[in-house]
Structure 1
Amino acid sequence: MNAISLDATDCRILTVLQNEGRISNLDLAERIALSPSACLRRLRLLEDQGVIERYRACLNKEALGFELEAFVQVSMRNDQENWHEHFADALREWPEVVGAFVVTGESHYVLRVLAHNLKHYSDFVISKLYKAPGVMDIRSNIVLQTLKEDTGVPVGLTPEAER
């Protein structure tokens, strides 16, 4: 998919929205120095182009009782038919898995897992992850401290600026 060309105003809109998703159109227009109607037109165009996929709230995992976060490397046996599809289907059913990535390197997947505590995490690994068809090896990295976490996209970095 080719990147959509954004001008400086589009970038300002996206930057504000990534930090303040509930901002009113009137406040957004004022912040980026556009009329409310022009701001709304641009916003709708960004939505229609798929640049803005959805709006959501960021929740505090600790306030909701999730005290343990882990990045889990999973290696699979390749001798089973459709091993990737079966594993992908299984992990979509596990609410503890909040991120899943196919990666290069020694493992096939990296999962981001949230659990209430060590017992919850242990139960997840033993009763779900190890029982998934084709799983050969699991390596857990428990997060001790988060130094940076941002789900946003660095809007100001354009492919042209990287060259």
Structure 2
Amino acid sequence: MNAISLDATDCRILTVLQHEGRISNLDLAERISLSPSACLRRLRLLEEQGVIERYRACLNREVLGFELEAFVQVSMRNEQENWHERFAEAVRDWPEVIGAFVVTGETHYLLHVLAHHLKHYSDFVLTRLYKAPGVLDIRSNIVLQTLKEDSGVPVSLVPGAKA
């Protein structure tokens, strides 16, 4: 799929929306120096083109009681039939896993896991992760401090974007 061409106004709209998803069209138009109707037309076009995939709220993990965050590397036994499909299906059912990636390197998967505390994480690992079909080994990396976290897209780096 080819990257879409964005002009400077599109980039400003996307940058504001990634930080303030609930901003009103009137406030957005004012921030990017457009009329409300022109802003809304551009916004709808970005949605129709699939540039804006969805809107969502960012929740505070600590306020909700998630004190432990981990990145878990998972290695699999390749000799089992359908090992990838079976593991992928299991991962989708685990609410603790907020991100799951097939990766290159020494392991097959990288999981991003949230848990309320160490016992919750330990229970998850021992009762579900280790018992998943084909799991050979796991290596946990517990997050001690977050230096940077942004789930947005760096709009200024989009190929063809005219900032």
Same fold (TM > 0.5)? yes
Distance 1:114 1:81, change over 3 A: same
Superposed displacement of residue 134, structure 1: 0.3
Letter matched to residue 138 of structure 1: I
Distance 2:50 2:107 in 1: 32
Gaps of 5+ in 1: none
Letter matched to residue 61 of structure 1: R
Q: Deviation digits for residues 27-60 of structure 1, max 9, x if unmatched?
A: 0001101111110010001001110000000000
Identity level (%): 86
What is the aligned partner in structure 2 of residue 69 from structure 1?
A: 69
What's the TM-score once normalised by structure 1's chain length? 0.97
- Residue aligned with 2:155, SS: coil
- Residue aligned with 1:99, SS: strand
What is the aligned partner in structure 1 of residue 44 from structure 2?
A: 44
What is the aligned partner in structure 2 of residue 11 from structure 1?
A: 11
Distance 2:86 2:40 in 1: 43
Distance 1:98 1:10 in 2: 29
Letter matched to residue 124 of structure 1: F
Superposed displacement of residue 160, structure 1: 5.1
Letter matched to residue 147 of structure 2: L
Distance 2:160 2:95 in 1: 39
Distance 1:17 1:158 in 2: 16
What is the aligned partner in structure 2 of residue 143 from structure 1?
A: 143
What's the TM-score once normalised by structure 2's chain length? 0.97
C-alpha contact (below 8 Å) 2:5/2:160 kept by paired residues: no
Superposed displacement of residue 82, structure 1: 1.0
Aligned residues: 161
Distance 2:85 2:44 in 1: 36
- Residue aligned with 2:156, SS: coil
Once the two structures are superposed, the pairs formed by residues 12-161 of structure 1 within 5 Å of their partners are: 12-159=12-159
Distance 2:160 2:10 in 1: 16
Higher relative contact order (CA 8 A, sep 6+): 2
Superposed displacement of residue 67, structure 1: 0.3
Superposition misfits of 4+ residues, deviation over 6 angstroms: none
- Residue aligned with 2:157, SS: coil
Gaps of 5+ in 2: none
Distance 1:10 1:160, change over 3 A: closer
Superposed displacement of residue 81, structure 1: 1.2
C-alpha contact (below 8 Å) 2:61/2:67 kept by paired residues: yes
- Residue aligned with 2:70, SS: strand
Q: Deviation digits for residues 104-131 of structure 1, max 9, x if unmatched?
A: 0000000000000000000000000001
